[in-house]
Structure 1
Amino acid sequence: MTAPARALPAAHPLEARLRAIGAARYHDKHPFHHRLHGGQCSPDQVRAWVINRWAYQAAIPMKDAAFLSRCSDPDLRRLWRSRIEDHDGGIAEGGGLRRWLRLAEAVGLDPDYVASGRGVLPATRFAVEAYVRYVRDRPLLQAVAASLTELFAPAIHEQRIEGLLRHYDFADAASLSYFRNRLTEAPKDVKAGLAWVLEHAAAPQDQDAACAALAFKTDVLWAQLDALWGAYVEPGRIPPGAWQPGEGLA
């Protein structure tokens, strides 16, 4: 069993490299998010985003379960398992997944349709599956480092809450509860994950691998938004089998 991660100075050079990757590559810079947060998305564009983002949300606890299945360190498992609990929740109250379906209902979608995964864009599905495979198959250091996009998540959640409340009638405390909860869940998760990566990436090649893992994860997030833009904004070419406006409504 490895010892708990020791406290490290904030100026750790690897942390600076990781934060620079987020500053350059995180998907808060994608034009779809600017459009969404600025109130420029049509109701169907919002619905398309909710449907496709569900594919990513639903895969997170499966990704984390795959990670735990090959993690021999009980200290790391204790740190990690709350991620599944945050998303799945209990039988009565649910968790992040149930909150996302509450958002789906608020934007006029049938939650059962969204939960079925029907209508997800092929590129979204491929990106999500690639992330699950990455965490399942790569060394634990890279699997943990790939999760560190959570370093940058609270800022985008704050922007999203503010923008959606300002511009969209569906937005209220209930429909946006997923994002409000992530304001406290994500910092908790990333504090543990970042400390573990900084502790275990001592060699230069390990630090390079951690940075590559985070860059890969930003690609996963960016690819999902590129697919949304191409299908539902410009040129508006919806691929066969993907959601068509009017389908899956409540």
Structure 2
Amino acid sequence: MSTVAPPAAGTDELWGPAEFTAHLRAVPAERYHDRHPFNVRMHEGALTPEELRRWILNRFHYQRHIPVKDALILAKFDDPALRRSWLRRIQDHDGLVEGEGGIERWLRLGEAAGIERDRLWSGAEVLPGVRLAVDGYVNFCRLRSPLEAVAASLTELAAPTIMRTRIDAFERHYRWIEADALTYFRTRIGQGGRDSEEALALVLAWARTRQEQEAAVGALRFKCDVLWSLLDAIDAIDAIDAIGTIEGAGERT
């Protein structure tokens, strides 16, 4: 857990760059979804094939909206150089040509897990809680300031670590998914590290008041809540099924 002290109430004193960075980094250190019980079980190898497929299918709903939210952020920028730089994030997921990019790599992960592309693309099985979480994030990027929208992306500060953990977990515990299907995770190690450092530099430069700094930290907390809520929705199905099993057993006695 982070040892960074929480912001003092009622003060307008600007944080220095090091202190501001520490407050930002403390958010994913404390609230990132690697701590969620579902992710913990995934990384321990405790998920059934059906649970893993459910995660891949619902997480795809989030993945396919990443370039959408990045397009909304890009549209807020006045600087052509900054737009060109941010455009790379969209290209990373959509690819420069058909058959490339992060979305394609996630589709291949789904196929390796036994989920047809049409089933992933249809979205028919996406859980309501997952839709709500993803819509909330997209609308946040649409409606909030460029500073807050970029700050929300800083969950990528923790992305390289969770991707390494996930690759290790899949190779150890889910060997029925071929290694070539893990390319999405491998690619995001480098992309996440690069993107988070670029976004962090922008947030440090743009937040010129204590209020703006705290808004940036709040935006990052919100994004962590989005990812946590997404897993809550996926994990809740098991709890509902368990309750139904218990109730059914009670009716038979």
1:91 deviates by: 2.3
Of residues 164, 172, 178, the one that matches 1:166 is 172
Q: CA deviation at 1:94?
A: 1.2
- TM-fit CA distance, 1:23: 1.2
Structure 2 segments unaligned to the other structure (5+ residues):
1-15, 244-253
- The alignment's TM-score, normalised by the length of structure 2, stands at 0.87
Q: What does residue range 220-231 of structure 1 map to in structure 2 within 5 Å?
A: 220-231=226-237
Instruction: Select the residue among 101, 116, 119 that pairs with 1:95.
Output: 101
Superposition RMSD on alpha carbons, in Å? 1.6
Matched residue, 2:241? 236
CA distance in 1, matches of 2:169, 2:45: 7
Query: Quick one: structure 1 residues 39 and 73, their matched pair in 2 at CA, closer, same or farther if it must change by over 3 Å?
Result: same
One of 191, 194, 198 as aligned partner of 2:200:
194
1:48 is matched with 54
Find the partner of 2:183 among 170, 174, 177: 177
Q: Shift in Å at residue 130 of structure 1?
A: 0.7
Aligned to 2:72: 66
Per the alignment, residue 35 of structure 1 pairs with 41
What amino acid maps onto 2:74 in structure 1? Answer: L
* Structure 1 residue 235: Cα displacement: 3.0
**Identity between Structure 1 and Structure 2 (%):** 48
TM-aligned CA deviation for residue 11 of structure 1: 6.3
AA in 2 matched with 1:165? E
Q: TM-score, normalised by structure 1?
A: 0.88
Amino acid at match of 1:59: H
Q: More displaced, 11-20 or 215-224?
A: 11-20
Q: Is the 8 A contact 2:91 2:101 kept in 1?
A: yes
CA distance in 2, matches of 1:76, 1:144: 12
> 1:244 — aligned with what?
none
Q: Secondary structure at the match of 2:240?
A: coil
Q: Please say if residues 66 and 135 of structure 1, whose CA atoms lie closer than 8 Å, have aligned partners that are also in contact.
A: yes
Runs in 1 of length 4+ with deviation above 2 angstroms? 90-93, 169-173, 235-238
Contact 2:92 2:102 in 1 (8 A): yes
What is the letter of the counterpart of residue 194 of structure 2?
A: K
Displacement of 1:31: 0.7
Q: Deviations over 1:41-89 (max 9, x none)?
A: 0111001000110000000001111111232122321221100000011
Partner residue, 2:113:
107
Moved more, 106-115 or 68-77: 68-77
Could you say what secondary structure the match of 2:65 adopts? Answer: helix
Give the one of 191, 214, 218 matched to 1:212.
Answer: 218
Distance 1:171 1:16 in 2: 38
Q: Is the 8 A contact 1:79 1:192 kept in 2?
A: no
1:84: which partner in 2? 90
SS of the counterpart of 2:64?
helix
Q: Shift in Å at residue 170 of structure 1?
A: 2.9
**1:229 touches 1:236 (CA, 8 Å); kept in 2?**
no
Q: Hey, what's the Cα distance between the residues in 2 that align with 1:11 and 1:66? A: 27
2:43 counterpart letter in structure 1: H
- Higher radius of gyration, 1 or 2: 2
Please name the residue that 1:16 is paired with.
Answer: 22
Match of 2:40, as an amino acid? H
Q: What letter is aligned with 1:130?
A: G
Which residue number in structure 1 is paired with residue 151 of structure 2? 145
| Higher-helix-fraction structure | 2
